[in-house]
Structure 1
Amino acid sequence: MEVKAVDNVLKDAILNGLYNKNENKGNEFISPQLVNNDDQSKIWFTLRQELMSCTSFTWAVAFISENMLVPFKLVMSELAKKGVNGTLITGTYLGFNSPKVFKELVKIPNLEVRLSEEAGFHAKGYIFNHEDYQTILIGSANFTRSALLKNCEWGLKVTSHENGQLVAEVNDQIENNLSNSLILTSSWIKEYEQNWQPVKKAAYLPLGKAKKILPNQMQKAALANLNALVKEQAKKALVVSATGTGKTYLGAFAVKEYKPKKFLYLVHREQIAKKALESFYRVIGGKKSDYGLLTGNKHDFDKKYLFGTVQTVSQEQILEQLDPEEFDYILIDEAHRVAAPTYQKILNHFAPKFLLGMTATPERMDKQNIYEIFDYHLAYEIRLKDALNDQMLTPFHYVGVEDYTVGNHVISETSKLKDLVARKRVEYVLKQLDYYGYCGEKAKGLVFCSRQEEARELAKLFSQTGHPSRALTNEDSQKQRIEVTHQLENGELEYIFTVDLFNEGIDIPSLNQIVMLRNTQSSIVFIQQLGRGLRKFPGKDYVTVIDFLGNYKNNYLIPIALNGDKSRDKDQAVRESKLPQVIDVSTINFTEIASQRILVSLEKIKLDSMRELRQSYKDLKEKIGRVPLLYDFYQYGTTAPTVFAKNHALAHYGDFLKKMGEEVNLGNYQNAALSFVTKELLFGKRPHELLLLESCLDKNISRADFTKLLKSKNCYISEDVLNSVEKILSLNFFDVKQGKTTKKEQYGSYPLIEKENGEYRLSSQLLQALNDNHQFKMLFEDVLKTGLALAREYNSQAQFTLYKQYDRKDVCRLLNWPKDVSAPMYGYRVGEKETPIFITYQKDSEKKRNARYQNTLENGHSLRWYTRTPRHLDSDEVKRLLHNKNMKLHLFVKRSDAAGKEFYYLGTAEIQKDSVKEEKIGLKQKCAVGMNLVLNHPLKQSIYNLLFS
């Protein structure tokens, strides 16, 4: 951009931020603004974006925490590839910065660390140099995890030329700090380490010495639900709780409240049974002699509280000594195993008054229905994301990096063993492990490999390079497993290499590094393996998760699993792959190459295929014990209900149920009407039609009362929108030819709503269909209920919701146009009052790109746009566009043609008058009118990254 243009943009931005936001169109990226941590953004996201776009940077930050360095290192690694360097000025004020922090900082090759010699150095300033300007962020936030991701912090972000007074003063301060600073060296760190005293923290009280163990938030909610089930005389219940959230203590609290005469705890490993016994004793108390084991060598049949292994209890000679009504309360840990023959043998023998199952992963790979076994009584469910948000687990920093390339071969599912254990790959992996590090002074890592031979060979190679390691596989005995895990906990080993052995059951709370050197098999396995390191442990502030992404076909599962996303919405998966994500203070980070590998695998998979939908349907049916409806999918957060509506092979959800083998009998009109509400209204982009239909199900409603209803629901109201609702529900909006028929004919031709004497009522055809067929009524009402639930995601007080997605037909409807004219609309349509403009930012091919228009984002708020060809300044539609003072322009953008039919709404825009001119464009050099569209809502950084970066 020319210097003059930059000057103008900066002036507009400064006036917008500091003088009058209404008169000046500011640039979101460079306007003065307050930066803080909220639900939509984080201070770290702002710093990250500035880092990724700067030419160099200098930070003056007093306090730095180790727990924020992992995501920072990934960004610095990406900047190193671009040749971008930075300077960090910090110090030793109050001894906050630990020696470990300084050791980690010197690992970053493109960062120069300076130590301020000024007494009381307490600065918090971040300065970024760009080609034509500088950006400064100054405020309360140090470079710590809490400050950048969670705390209530304020930062003022200002952008200016180097000759700006503020920038000059800040640069003077920086120069002064640099001149009074030392370069960080290894010898300085050694000296500092000898004299450093750690900052005092709250004393850690081991559980064994705690005066009283009280239920946490999850346990209280689960206990309330369990007690309610007991009062209802339910015989069974299941609790789904992420690893490390206190399932064992929850079981103890539940048993304590139940007060059984005799209790049995079942699990598949003796060491877990022994730990559970101790936990139950801490909670329940009483005489220690009341607690006993029923394991290989211990048969304490007479104890009140028995803790046994399935292998022992399932033996005939053991069961013969136990009466079927011996235990009035049985608890099964790792309850997803309960369908196995040994468990079933035990359950068939006993008849407890109450059976409780607990598991972290009820979705079994063997497809057994665990929910059915527990009578579909899901007492409580807390998954990984919820547990992290509730601070039940140790936070993690996930880093997705590209795997090593051996020659021209990228590691994949078919890689040969010699490539997996190649010395250069080992060196590369070790370099990454050292760079991204771990919490604490010594690595305690668990490495998941793709095959057993690889695990054994890599353990040997790691040991040879000074990193003591052992491999554990299912061929190793229980004694060996215990021995090796103890060696890791004691510091004798740094790494354990395994395949799937540690997916569940074996806990090493002190783990501080999880390494994934294998293809992601499934979301279930991924979360199981991730969860191995998340159990809380004294001194463990975070876990580093390093995932080496090769050319794996299942790479797309990673962001989906990390975010707990079951929507099967490809747009959502793309957002999770491209944009930085946080869960409370846990971060999810991908290198650019790793992100591209995820996107490539995502392009090759159909998340909403009939096969995937069938499995999702089966899983939910098994979970709730009945045929699920659309609202069930919405409520349980599984497949997004809209996925069924978008599927061209399905007319409606009833059609899907028939394909699943359910008996659904609908007439022609019922099919057509159900297809209409599903395809047109389910998405909830405007709730008005849904509210009118829902109201008329009970009784007729006057136009005046409908208006009152809309006001009570905070919906925008106008005569135009009321007329539009009528045209939609009369189907007149759809009376447009599409081939041999109209969309109106496809939807049954008859109106759904009729109006007479100012009163709305269901049409006679719809009323009869609802009365004649209970299945149709159920499915119809399900769409309305689900659509209104989805409508909460939109701003009901406006036509369009900023940054939500719409297709051309949606826009025609929400602009209150009388007919659906989306088919011939293409890039835009100049209306009487409003003009929607649809821009595909990147074309799929060079040929298309040259043949069409070069839409470019000049800055954060101005998009170059062209009319269709041939058009001139005196063309009728151009004159209407340029000279109608009341014309409102709505801007819709998608990244590429591959993104589907929907566009993101970027808000309204104004035409920059002095930018309008005729231009020759495309291969045939036809005339079009080009102009800059200035956004009235400057782009948020996240949407910019998604659409334009």
Structure 2
Amino acid sequence: MNENHDLSQAILHGLLDQQRYSSNEMLAPKLLVNTAQETIWEHLLDEFETCLTFSIAVAFITRDMLTPFKAVLSELASKGVHGSLLTSDYLGFNEPEMFAELLKIPNLTVKVSQNAGFHVKGYIFEQENEKTLIIGSANLTRSAMLKNYEWNLRLTASQQGALVQQVEEQFALQWGQAVSLTPKWLENYQENYVRRPQTFSQAGGKQKITPNQMQREALARLDKIRQKGARRALLISATGTGKTYLGAFDVQAFAPKRFLFVVHREQILEAARASFFRVLGGRQEDYGILSGRSKQTNAKYVFATVQTLSKASVMQQFAPDEFEYLLIDEAHRSGAASYLRILEYFTPRFVLGMTATPERTDDFDVFELFDHNLAYEIRLQQALEEKMLTPFHYVGVTDYEYAGKMIDETTSLSRLVANERVDHVLAQINYYTDTNQTPHGLIFCSRQDEAQELAQLLTERQHPSRALTNEQSIAQRDQAVKDLENGRLEYLVTVNIFNEGIDIPCVDQVILLRNTQSSIVFIQQLGRGLRKYPGKEYVTVIDFIGNYKNNYLIPMALHDDRSKNKDNAKRELAFKPILGLSTINFSPIAKQRIFAALDQVKLDSLHQLKQAYYELKQRLGRVPLLCDYLEQGTLSPQVFFNNKRLPHYGAFLGKVKEKINLTQYQAQLLSFVSQELAPGKRPHELLLLQLLLKEEQVSEQDLISVFKEHNCYYNEELFNSLDLILSLQFFAIKAGKKLKSQEYGGLPLVEHDGFYYRLAPDFKAALQAGKDFKRLLDDAIECGLQLNKEYDSQQQFTLYQRYSRKDVCRLLNWSKDLSAPMYGYWVGEKECPIFITYHKDKKAVRSKDYRNSFADNSAIKWYSRSPRTLESAEIKRLLARDGQGRQILKLHLFAKRSDAEGQGYTYLGLADIAPDSVQETQLAGANGRPKKVVQMELKFRKPLPYQQLKFLTETQDVNDGR
């Protein structure tokens, strides 16, 4: 397609008439603002990714945006892309430390404007055939890029465009008058710099503390649990999210006559007592400490160490019912004998356990101890969005490579602590972190001997460090933490002892030099640096990614993605996502390593499913059902539906040795509901079945009322389809040696006489033949309806959701499942679904020319089957138009990135054939002989969002190029 024509259309669309002129969204003028769906920084990243060079002119830059900026520039450097940055010393806003960080970037030339009123904010990107300008109000600061309400206009123009040339002339003028950023200039600037006064928000004084939104929700859940008569409950809250304050708020709501707080470390008592005093108020003498050094047992509120309180001589000073409310901090430790003695002796009206890491309790079931009453769970991602934690900038870089081999699980100690590896690690640390400030870092490595050697080597390189392993005493660990806090040490190097149970708020660097063992451990180690601290605006996280089998866990952990869906993980990895004010970046090679790990792992293996099942069973104290996985957010039920070895959830329960009694016919019925309906692509069948499980018969009008209540579309074709689906006639197609419908019992589930729907006799009999079937059936139906909330039930298909060919046949209300012979498309009477695999397997591609390709986000070039000509009946039906020249067939486009994604295709919406694009052409067949096909351009009714287009078309060498 002609680039100038595209650009002309985009300009006419944006500036003259958006209805009359179609446009490539990536070329059209657009106002960029920060929203919950997209940020200005994401749009800049899009331009950085494809530019040949760039020029930036911004008055102000903050250090808190330099880490992701450096990550992008590092990626550009690997591609040989260089850029220019013009900034200022206007108002003394830009700190000397920021200028020092800019000097580290090798592929960036920086100048400083001497214009006293320099206040511009503009970004210029040179692409292959055009230039893009982003001009408006956004400086290169984290707030402007990610949060503030900014207006920025993105314009794309040709190289010869007058506006581009005007902007470049102005840039060149200012650039020529500016001075180069050099160490000498910086030295002079620093000498004369007057630092602006800084204010830090920190708890203290008499400021009133009130619950935030998440804490209010948790308090409401606790109150509801108590109203039901519960005597114990567990609260899970990520480190740094205000567990202690939340406990104090609940004690305030409960208003006990006396209250007991139990914790495992004496150092925590004073801080806990101060937090409770700020919430509860009263007299200082109401708050007592019970520990090895203090015995204030008569206070109204007693804060005790478990070591002291668990002694029989101390406990017996109190009556068993002395305290109405008992709070156990770090409750995952409560399986220890000392805690159990306390819980057995005291009989409070209510016990609350608080922990950040219940899964780390080895053999003890902490959920059972608290009667499986999980009141609330505050996860890391939620806490970041609620601004309860310090934002982080995560950078995934490649680990050290020796003789062409990347570090992996088997690498010897000599390689892990080689001087060259330490050089590599320090080079990355120095590039990404502020070298003008003393770092307070935690380094997690894989082995204790590695920690010792690494700490010594870092110290020799003028980075004072100390290794901490389980060989040191608590006192030695405490002293090391103090040395880190006061700056005598820069790094503590450890293996796993700081995963939980340690609070070092000053930590502003987390360095990961080990294999990702699990998502839980990854989040625990990441969370060590996220507690808020005066002066700490962000945390730098550098993850050295080797050739590890578990690399696939990284994007899943960062996004709290428990779906076990490879496609989700790849999407999360393909983009540079943003979590609140936190950013995530991977170097190209590190990204390829993770793609490689994803290709090797089977996320939905029976082992993985069993592990998720046992964890949830422990939480609930009973056998989990499908809806429990949804409610708890631990695993997507889709994993069970997509597993070919598990026809239904009852079959999985049998794998974990649960006694499930099902007849053969009941199992077949469950298989049908689970495989065909429960994935939730359409709610209509599920709603009808749910209604019939309650009512003897249901009229069509009753059903219509239910559809209206659930905002579902309906028409005559839909009602016909319901009959065909629930009678299994739709599935009367060959599947091996028998019909597919026979796999589901071969008998109708529902009878419809034209007026009323009723359950078929065999189905009714199955419902009466044992409780297990009814329980599993109800669960599958309800689960399907919950999953359907992700879809627009007023439409047949929901944009950018995934569907299989069989799903499409059903949702188009066809009489038969035609997915087997459909292949790339099927020309029906009214509608034609088209399925596109963008990156075909190399063995399947018969010709390098036989590739569907996106012209932009508004159209795709598409080929028919072969052999086809313009005279083929199929092509004539495809191209047919009515008397007004309108396309008769509705074309539904579905696409997937590659065959590795399985059977699902993403729905891209309706499309129209561009009449002037239709032509016959020839492509080489398997035997080298040319075959006739018809080529045409399909125009999307709704242009693709950029990220959808990017994911479908972006080539990943490891993932797709194999």
The answer, yes or no, to whether TM exceeds 0.5 is yes
CA distance in structure 1 between the aligned counterparts of 2:436 and 2:461, rounded to whole angstroms: 21
Query: What pairs up with 1:444-455 in 2 under 5 angstroms?
Result: 444-455=440-451
CA distance in structure 2 between the aligned counterparts of 1:69 and 1:270, rounded to whole angstroms: 40
Moved more, 128-137 or 592-601: 592-601
CA shift, 1:257, in A, is 4.1
Whether 1:921 and 2:924 are equivalent positions in the alignment is yes
Deviations 1:230-283 (A, max 9, x none): 454422111111100111222233334444454432222222233323333443
CA distance in structure 1 between the aligned counterparts of 2:282 and 2:649, rounded to whole angstroms: 56
CA distance in structure 1 between the aligned counterparts of 2:169 and 2:794, rounded to whole angstroms: 49
Q: 1:937 aligns with which of 906, 924, 942?
A: 942
CA distance in structure 2 between the aligned counterparts of 1:421 and 1:917, rounded to whole angstroms: 63
Say whether the 8 Å CA contact 1:438–1:513 is kept in structure 2: no
CA distance in structure 1 between the aligned counterparts of 2:386 and 2:29, rounded to whole angstroms: 34
TM-score relative to the length of structure 1: 0.95
- The corresponding residue for 2:756 is 759
Change in 2 beyond 3 A, CA 1:533/1:335 = same
Deviations 1:720-774 (A, max 9, x none): 2232222222221111111221122222222223222433333333333334443
Give 2:430's aligned amino acid.
Answer: D
- The corresponding residue for 1:892 is 894
Whether 1:246 and 2:225 are equivalent positions in the alignment is no
Gaps of 5+ in 2: 882-886, 955-962
Q: Secondary structure at the match of 1:555?
A: helix
Say whether the 8 Å CA contact 2:333–2:361 is kept in structure 1: no
CA shift, 1:529, in A, is 0.9
Whether 1:354 and 2:350 are equivalent positions in the alignment is yes
Change in 2 beyond 3 A, CA 1:835/1:59 = same
- The corresponding residue for 2:105 is 108
Deviations 1:916-946 (A, max 9, x none): 2221224423313233333333222212232
Change in 2 beyond 3 A, CA 1:304/1:188 = same
Deviations 1:478-511 (A, max 9, x none): 2221221111111121111111121112211111
- The corresponding residue for 1:869 is 866
- The corresponding residue for 2:960 is none
Whether 1:504 and 2:500 are equivalent positions in the alignment is yes
Query: What pairs up with 1:842-857 in 2 under 5 angstroms?
Result: 842-846=839-843, 848=845, 850=847, 853-857=850-854
Whether 1:830 and 2:801 are equivalent positions in the alignment is no
CA distance in structure 2 between the aligned counterparts of 1:437 and 1:695, rounded to whole angstroms: 60
CA shift, 1:147, in A, is 2.2
CA shift, 1:166, in A, is 2.4
Change in 2 beyond 3 A, CA 1:921/1:932 = farther
Say whether the 8 Å CA contact 1:438–1:512 is kept in structure 2: no
Gaps of 5+ in 1: none
Whether 1:47 and 2:32 are equivalent positions in the alignment is no
Say whether the 8 Å CA contact 2:13–2:23 is kept in structure 1: yes
Say whether the 8 Å CA contact 2:522–2:557 is kept in structure 1: yes
Q: 1:191 aligns with which of 181, 188, 191?
A: 188
- The corresponding residue for 2:958 is none
- The corresponding residue for 1:467 is 463
Whether 1:421 and 2:424 are equivalent positions in the alignment is no
Moved more, 207-216 or 550-559: 207-216
Q: 1:31 aligns with which of 15, 28, 33?
A: 28
CA distance in structure 1 between the aligned counterparts of 2:363 and 2:194, rounded to whole angstroms: 54
Whether 1:92 and 2:97 are equivalent positions in the alignment is no
- The corresponding residue for 1:63 is 60
Give 1:570's aligned amino acid.
Answer: K
Q: Secondary structure at the match of 2:476?
A: helix
Deviations 1:805-863 (A, max 9, x none): 11111111122221101011111112222222212222233564648932333433333
Say whether the 8 Å CA contact 2:101–2:434 is kept in structure 1: no
CA distance in structure 2 between the aligned counterparts of 1:482 and 1:708, rounded to whole angstroms: 66
TM-score relative to the length of structure 2: 0.94
CA distance in structure 2 between the aligned counterparts of 1:22 and 1:745, rounded to whole angstroms: 51
CA shift, 1:874, in A, is 2.4
CA distance in structure 2 between the aligned counterparts of 1:849 and 1:296, rounded to whole angstroms: 79
CA distance in structure 2 between the aligned counterparts of 1:826 and 1:266, rounded to whole angstroms: 65
Change in 2 beyond 3 A, CA 1:156/1:879 = same
Q: 2:129 aligns with which of 107, 129, 132?
A: 132
- The corresponding residue for 1:581 is 577
Query: What pairs up with 1:401-412 in 2 under 5 angstroms?
Result: 401-412=397-408
Query: What pairs up with 1:219-298 in 2 under 5 angstroms?
Result: 219-298=215-294
Query: What pairs up with 1:483-882 in 2 under 5 angstroms?
Result: 483-699=479-695, 700-846=697-843, 848=845, 850=847, 853-882=850-879
CA distance in structure 1 between the aligned counterparts of 2:777 and 2:561, rounded to whole angstroms: 27
CA distance in structure 2 between the aligned counterparts of 1:637 and 1:760, rounded to whole angstroms: 35
Say whether the 8 Å CA contact 1:439–1:544 is kept in structure 2: no
Q: Secondary structure at the match of 1:237?
A: strand
CA distance in structure 2 between the aligned counterparts of 1:771 and 1:444, rounded to whole angstroms: 66
Moved more, 667-676 or 42-51: 667-676
Using the aligned pairs only, state the percent identity: 52
Change in 2 beyond 3 A, CA 1:710/1:216 = closer
Say whether the 8 Å CA contact 2:332–2:361 is kept in structure 1: no
CA distance in structure 2 between the aligned counterparts of 1:555 and 1:621, rounded to whole angstroms: 27
Aligned residues: 945
Deviations 1:61-103 (A, max 9, x none): 2222222221121111010010111112222333332222222
Change in 2 beyond 3 A, CA 1:574/1:701 = same
Give 1:433's aligned amino acid.
Answer: I
Q: Secondary structure at the match of 2:230?
A: coil
Query: What pairs up with 1:421-440 in 2 under 5 angstroms?
Result: 421-438=417-434
Say whether the 8 Å CA contact 1:410–1:551 is kept in structure 2: yes
Deviations 1:433-490 (A, max 9, x none): 1111159832111111111111111111111112111111111122221221111111
CA shift, 1:512, in A, is 0.7
> Alignment RMSD, CA only?
2.3
Q: Secondary structure at the match of 1:363?
A: helix
Change in 2 beyond 3 A, CA 1:198/1:910 = farther
- The corresponding residue for 2:907 is 905
Say whether the 8 Å CA contact 1:851–1:923 is kept in structure 2: no
Moved more, 653-662 or 676-685: 653-662
Moved more, 770-779 or 647-656: 770-779
Deviations 1:180-215 (A, max 9, x none): 3222222322333333344555x4465342343333
Q: 2:367 aligns with which of 371, 375, 387?
A: 371
Give 1:886's aligned amino acid.
Answer: I
